[in-house]
Amino acid sequence: MIEFLTPYFGFINDPTAWVALLTLIALEVVLGIDNLIFISILTNKLPEHQRAKARRLGIGAALIMRLLLLATISFIVALKEPIFEAFGHGFSWRDLILIAGGLFLVWKATKEIHHSVDPVDNTTELASRTLQLSLGAAIFQILLLDLVFSVDSIITAVGMTDEIGIMYIAVIVAVTVMLLAATPLANFIEKNPTIVMLALGFLLMIGMTLIADGFGFHVPKGYIYAAMGFSALVEGLNMLQRNRRARQRGADGH
């Protein structure tokens, strides 16, 4: 058994490999934030008794998909090879997957923003739309985005290390973190309506980034996450201020 696992986990005695493992785990966790935000927003539109199940199924499917993609690592690497050229750019299957996923995210985020800011009082209509989102439809949409983020995640892992064992461990740890964080994040988003709009803005930005990446315009991930972090910080300060004012009004009322 040990001899069978040696080709995959022979890095255990290599300190530099451990550094690569920790770095890749951190990177995979950060990359998983995009997927987690989408899953949280989408599952919050389901009836309450189905939300946890949908999150578990969606994230579990993400883990299976990434492990299967790792098992076909040579196929994933081949996805970066151009299959045709247009507008002076050679498009690969990876590019097409990113563009399709980006367009889906932009469409989904725009649709949800429109429903949130529609000035017409259509509460009943929105409630019916919420109930019309079935568990199967939610899982299907999660799987579509899982595929996009999984391909990007695995290609990132391949670029970080040649050790297949490191890739497997990093993916499993990252998806486990997603599973643990999914319900608290979804509950937090549901209880704070302004966070919903901020998260939808994140999805819109992520979608545009995927499209740009698919067309060959690479936007460093650090810029994207720095913008998201700054926006989250500003919204956090706004929430603190709103809570302080609410407490003040409560004290004045007494």
What pLDDT digit, counting tens, does each position of 42-98 carry? 888 888 888 888 888 888 888 888 888 777 776 776 777 888 888 777 888 888 888
Number of domains composing the chain: 2
In this structure, the answer to whether residues 225 and 148 fall within a common structural domain is: no
In a domain, 123, yes or no: yes
Looking at residue 82, its pLDDT comes to 84
CA distances from 84 to 31, 45, 77, 79, 87 (A): 28, 39, 17, 12, 10
In this structure, the answer to whether residues 121 and 201 fall within a common structural domain is: yes
> Using 50, 70 and 90 to split pLDDT, how confident is the model at 145?
confident
> Using 50, 70 and 90 to split pLDDT, how confident is the model at 123?
very low
| % of the chain residues with pLDDT over 90 | 0
30 pLDDT above the threshold of 70 = yes
In this structure, the answer to whether residues 159 and 131 fall within a common structural domain is: yes
pTM listed for this prediction: 0.68
- For the chain, the average pLDDT equals 77
In this structure, the answer to whether residues 191 and 251 fall within a common structural domain is: no
pLDDT digit string, tens, across residues 199-216: 888 888 888 888 888 888
In this structure, the answer to whether residues 47 and 120 fall within a common structural domain is: yes
| Domain span holding position 121 | 12-217
| Rounded Cα gap, residues 184 and 208, in angstroms | 27
In a domain, 6, yes or no: no
In this structure, the answer to whether residues 58 and 143 fall within a common structural domain is: yes
In this structure, the answer to whether residues 173 and 98 fall within a common structural domain is: yes
122 pLDDT above the threshold of 60 = no
> Using 50, 70 and 90 to split pLDDT, how confident is the model at 9?
low
In a domain, 36, yes or no: yes
Cβ atoms 84, 90 nearer than 8 A: yes
In this structure, the answer to whether residues 195 and 233 fall within a common structural domain is: no
Half-sphere exposure of 157 (CA within 13 A, CB side): 34
Q: What is the end-to-end Cα distance of the chain in Å, rounded?
A: 71
Looking at residue 185, its pLDDT comes to 85
130 pLDDT above the threshold of 50 = no
In this structure, the answer to whether residues 228 and 135 fall within a common structural domain is: no
pLDDT digit string, tens, across residues 164-197: 778 888 888 888 888 888 888 888 887 777 777 8
In a domain, 4, yes or no: no
Looking at residue 147, its pLDDT comes to 80
In this structure, the answer to whether residues 171 and 229 fall within a common structural domain is: no
In a domain, 1, yes or no: no
Looking at residue 28, its pLDDT comes to 78
Burial of 154 (0-12, 13-18, 19+ CB in 10 A): buried
Cβ atoms 10, 156 nearer than 8 A: no
